[in-house]
Amino acid sequence: MIAVIQRVTEASVSIDNKIKGQINQGFMVLLGITHDDTDEDIEWLSGKIANMRVFSDEDDKMNLALGDVDGDILLVSQFTLHASTKKGNRPGYNEAAKPDVAIPLYEKMIKALEQKTGKHLQTGEFGAMMQVSLVNDGPVTIIIDTKNKK
């Protein structure tokens, strides 16, 4: 599982020109799920996201977590995070999980993050063509791959 976490002042996702999810301060999280991801990956990654200290404290030091700033999460599935670009110029997506595997894991991630943050998540729609807008704050962008825990 790969997550691209962006600290934002605002973010939204639209489908057919209608806003599906929208947040102010918080994290815009793009989530890529691969065929061998597990519940253990969800537990570990959701803990990392919920507790990541990248918001500024009173000394302007990145020391506060999402809950400390009452931030929200906008979670969007993105299979292209598992693109293989080793051959040619057209990426391959063999490592991206098929919907029968990815959808249940995506839904479990939503529940895990809601449980850890105590807040309702805003989301995109799995498999839909979406337009994502955001204002990256900092900019701060963190990439986490559950296959590189150690």
88-146 confidence digits (pLDDT tens)? 999 999 999 999 999 999 999 999 999 999 999 999 999 999 999 999 999 999 999 99
C-alpha–C-alpha distance, residues 118 and 132, integer Å: 24
At 143, which amino acid appears?
A: I
Q: 40-99: per-residue pLDDT in tens? A: 999 999 999 999 999 999 999 999 999 999 999 999 999 999 999 998 999 999 999 999
Bond before 139 cis per omega within 30 degrees: yes
Annotated active-site residue 80? The verdict is yes
Distance CA 12, CA 24 (A): 9
Q: Which of 6, 27, 55, 79 is catalytic?
A: 79
Class for the domain spanning 2-148: alpha beta
Partners of 92 in the beta sheet? Answer: 84
pTM equals 0.95
Catalytic entry in 78, 117, 123, 146: 78
Catalytic site includes residue 122: no
